[in-house]
Every structure is written in C-alpha cells, then in structure tokens.
Amino acid sequence: MHDPIASRYDALLLDLSGVLYDGSRLIAGAREAVVEARKRGLILRFVTNTASKPAATILDELLQMGIDAHADELFTAPMAAKRYLQQQKLRPYCLIHSAIRHEFADIDQSDPNCVLLGDARDDLNYTSMNRAFQLCKSGAPLIGIGMNRYFMDEHGLMLDAGAFIRAIEWAADVEAIVMGKPSTDFFAQVVASTGVDAARCLMVGDDVTTDVVGAFDAGLQSCLVRTGKFLAGDERKLPPGAQLIDSIATLF
C-alpha cells in the first residue's frame, strides 16, 4: 500500500518559491497538495526567506494562484528580523528591498547601530555595501534576512543576499545574526507555533542547505524537491533520513 510521505507527520512546513511556484507560475500539483494537506488535518506553515515582497502581497499572490494561506500560517525572514530589531531595541541601517521598506518604517533608523541586510537588488552597490562594512567594522551587529546563495525566478538562477552577507562578514571580520532559514532559532519559532514536536514536522524545500539541512539541524524531518533551484548533485548533500521527491505533486 502506498504510504504518502506527508501522512507520517502532524505538521507540514512548505517553502514557497521553487516548491509552490517558480516566479509567477504555479508548480503543477501545488494547489492540490495544499488542499490534500488540509483535508488530512495537517497543520500548515508557509515558510520563506523571500525578502522582496511584503507579507500581505505574498498571501495575496498565493490566493490568486488558488492557494489559501492564512496570515497566522505565514513565517517570513523579514518578519523575524523586525521582531528581533524591536526586541533588541536596535536602530538599523537598512539594506533591504524597496517593496518591504514600509514594513520597517516604524523602526527608528537614525544614527544606526546595526546593519540589516537582505535582498536589496540594485541597492547592493559599492556605496551602500561600504557603509555597511564601516558600521560592522566599528562594532555594529550584522543582521541578515535569510542566508540563501541564490534563488530561481522566471529569469533563471539569481544571486541572493547570502553572498553579500558573507562579503561583509569576511571584510569586517564579524558573524551575521541570520533571521530566517537556516537559523535554528527561526525554525524553532515556526515549530513552536504548531504545538507539536519538531520530529513530527516535515519541512519541504528546494534548497538543500537552507531548507533541508537547516530543518534537519533544528530537529525537523525534511524533504527536498527536484523543482525550483534544485541542481543535479544536491541529492548527495542530503542529511541522513531526508527524503527526495520529484515535486510537491508527489507528496501525497
């Protein structure tokens, strides 16, 4: 008898880009998988490092694709970063995407005493990166929104914020505080929201490092899909017990 992977768990954590959609294109079977998960009573969480869209836009785009995700089911790296800034009472120099700047507008950014670095695209230029370097070199903490090396969209593989975070870490001789995957603290927040043990949670992603290994290190079970940014050879990097499937369509 067929034993669907997802049926072995109580909570299902889904990455978005590369798992549910590529760019603006819904991945075949994604909608049906989410519906089936709800039908089976699984607790759902949508977990993303996407730092180029506000949470409301992410939810709206999912809904337009036919995926009904609730606000309390969405966990994003920018949301985690904002909570951290507020808890630590930090004033960031924000190197973030223009689409999410308004979400940080209520945070004091005068006389910065930390650097917040995310997917700022063309704003990641020499002038801005040098300013971030100077602050970090003088002792300001570096806070990274996610640690992805690259992502996949309709234009192909795109360089992500992780490369720029690493550059500042190396140049300023600091270690970034990472908000989002693969941070164990971030995964712990998501797991805590489900009310079940980490071992009863399955994380499904297309990034073998941030999604699969990150979840494994945080005590979750994990599954890699061969869609999105998956590259041949990624399967050899899977941690013990991790699953590999062709796409989310084969989750059930």
**Architecture in CATH of 88-179:** 3-Layer(aba) Sandwich (3.40)
3 pLDDT band, cuts 50/70/90, is low
Classify residue 107 as left (phi > 0), alpha (psi -120 to 50) or beta: beta
Find, among 30, 62, 73, the residue nearest to 225 by Cα.
30
Percentage of the chain beyond pLDDT 90 is: 91
Amino acid at 55: A
Express each pLDDT in 149-203 by its tens digit: 988 877 888 899 999 999 999 999 999 999 999 999 999 999 999 999 999 999 9
With respect to CATH, is domain 5-77+181-250 assigned 3.40.50.1000? yes
Q: How many CB atoms lie within 10 A of CB 250?
A: 13
Q: How far is CA 188 from the centre of its chain?
A: 13
CB-based contacts of 183, cutoff 8 Å, min separation 6: 80, 147, 214
Give me the helix-helix angle, 126-137 and 161-172, nearest 10°.
Answer: 40
Percentage of the chain beyond pLDDT 70 is: 99
Q: What is the dihedral of CA 172, 175, 181, 182, to 10 degrees?
A: 130
Say if 5-77+181-250 and 88-179 have the same CATH topology: yes
CB 229 within 8 A of CB 150: yes
Express each pLDDT in 203-244 by its tens digit: 999 999 999 999 999 999 999 999 999 999 999 999 999 999
1 pLDDT band, cuts 50/70/90, is very low
Tell me what pLDDT residue 82 has. Answer: 95
Q: Where are the domains of the chain?
A: 5-77+181-250, 88-179
148 pLDDT band, cuts 50/70/90, is confident
Tell me what pLDDT residue 152 has. Answer: 80
